[in-house]
Copies of this chain bind each other. A is one copy, B any other.
Amino acid sequence: MTAVAGAAHTRRALPEALWTALSARFGDRLARNASELERHGHEESWHPGVPPDAVVFAESTADVADLVRLCAQARVPVVPFGAGTSLEGHVAALEGGVSLDLSRMTRVLGVRPEDGDCSIEAGVTRAQLNTHLRDLGLFFPVDPGAPATIGGMAATRASGTNAVRYGTIRDVVLSLVAVMADGSVVRTGGRARKSAAGYDLTRLLIGSEGTLGIITELSVRLSPIPETIASAVVTFPSVQSAVECVIGLIQLSVRMARIEFLDAAAIDAVNRYSGLDNETAPTLFLEFHGSEGQVAEQVATVQEAALEHGAGPLHWATLAEDRAKLWKARHEALWAVNATRPGCRSWTTDVCVPISRLAECIVETTADMQALPFRGAIVGHVGDGNFHCLLPLDPGSATELEAAQRFNDRLVRRAIGMDGTCTGEHGIGHGKLDFMMLEHGAGVSVMRAIKRALDPDGILNPGKVLPAE
């Protein structure tokens, strides 16, 4: 069973001297009021929140370095906080300590259109960056749906709807600035497109969830806004036919920008929530990017494949406004499913499997979902082999929580048995600690050795990523 937040943890006391030092250094950017503490201890998920003892709002890398140095001296935990949109209890202050809020670090430090890259502070969000870039013909492609900070996306190795074409955050980050557990500031590289100089600290920090260092700045690759963008919706007679159509397209290497799957339950929820009238059937939401010729070529291939798999006609949205409406519906699927059951909170699963096993995995999971005491839905970045079950449960019901936990346990074992992973893009937090040994075996010892080496006192986001020994 997944550990309940905080169950096995002891809160570390905050010495009075640390309060004094933090107050002197951060003034009114140090908060202790109940509402800030509560807000910083939980995120979007069903996981119960665990509030910190204080919140510090950082405005620069120097702020972060000073905070970490002060906390390191007192051996007090530091839990980084971006937009609070993570899903596995990442921001819960399991051992107390200081929540480090990076959401005010929103400076765009430099944009270099001639290199197709830019440098930003960790609190910049995708929407903010894309507004900033609008007139340059460039965009930042990683789109997890939620209004996450880009620093938070890097910390959790996020991806989202565009990854099938543009890669995950791992692929677009050129280098990072990070504050390590002793307060030292490390720049992990320059802006060259490739480098073979030493250990890949950039990739080590990406996905480390603030447990090895705190990301304060990022240099990221941008993509040119495509000449042509076309979106389409198409329904299928069954889950299997929809997913098999995707598998065929991936095997043909059609470079679609987005291939999103919604099952009939998700479509039904989205229709009600957003007042739409999509056919209630397994559906693919597609997007095509490229020159006019490239898009036409992709569209022809997809139309043929969809027909072969028994789909109806493709419904097109080519105007920017219609496309925005289409993707808004997709991005609101989580809230739409939550809205089907007032008072619920969604447990969102996140397995990812090799594409050849995806239909089998989704079909088995759909069957398994029927036995749950509430009605779940499936949405997925199926071009990557990644899908989410949205389970709207009553967080006060032990029966429902246990049913969801057992379902998720079966799902993760199914995915790992197919050479997949327990999390495609949400990370481990403390919600998936129990699966680390199953997925990584001896690799967990290696990760523990790295954690001990870089954070010997365990002050950086304790209780996350690595299960207790």
Contacts and interface: CB of A to CB of B under 8 A. Distances in A.
Contacts of A428: 196-198
A182 to B, nearest CB: 9
A252 B224 CA distance: 8
Interface size class of A (residues with CB under 8 A): 35 or more
Query: Which residue among A354, A426, A453 has the maximum number of chain B CB atoms within 10 Å of its CB?
Result: A354
A195 B449 CA distance: 21
A200 B170 contact: yes
A245 interface: no
Given A196-B424, A421-B192, A356 B223 contact: no
Contact of A446 (B114, B191, B384, B454): B454
A343 interface: no
Interface string A187-206: 11111111111111101101
Nearest to A190: B419
A401 interface: no
B447 A198 contact: yes
Which of A158, A185, A198, A386 has the most chain B CB atoms closer than 10 A to its own CB? A198
Nearest to A168: B194
Given A194-B163, A207-B198, A443 B188 contact: yes
A323 B318 CA distance: 40
Given A192-B385, A192-B424, A435 B197 contact: yes
17 contacts: A113-B251, A114-B247, A114-B251, A115-B356, A116-B251, A170-B194, A190-B439, A192-B352, A192-B386, A192-B419, A194-B352, A194-B384, A196-B427, A199-B208, A293-B293, A294-B294, A446-B454
Nearest to A449: B453
A305 interface: no
Interface in A419-469: 419-428, 432, 435-436, 439-447, 449-450, 452-454, 465-466
Interface string A201-243: 1011011100010000000000110000000000000000000
A298 B194 CA distance: 24
Contacts of A53: none
Given A184-B442, A192-B385, A197 B421 contact: yes
How many copies of this chain sit in the oligomeric assembly? 2
A112 interface: yes
B196 A423 contact: yes
Interface in A384-436: 384-386, 415-416, 419-428, 432, 435-436
Given A204-B203, A294-B294, A194 B425 contact: yes
A291 interface: yes
Nearest to A291: B297
Nearest to A440: B198
A186 B193 CA distance: 29
Contact of A354 (B112, B171, B251): B112
A162 to B, nearest CB: 12
A439 B206 CA distance: 20
A419 B191 contact: yes
A187 B446 contact: no
Contact of A384 (B190, B193, B453): B193
A426 B194 CA distance: 11
Contacts of A454: 446, 449-450
Contacts of A297: 291, 293-294
A284 interface: no
A254 B260 CA distance: 27
A450 B253 CA distance: 38
A454 B186 CA distance: 20
Nearest to A193: B384
A184 to B, nearest CB: 5
A361 to B, nearest CB: 11
A378 interface: no
Nearest to A255: B255
Nearest to A195: B421
Contact of A450 (B384, B444, B453): B453
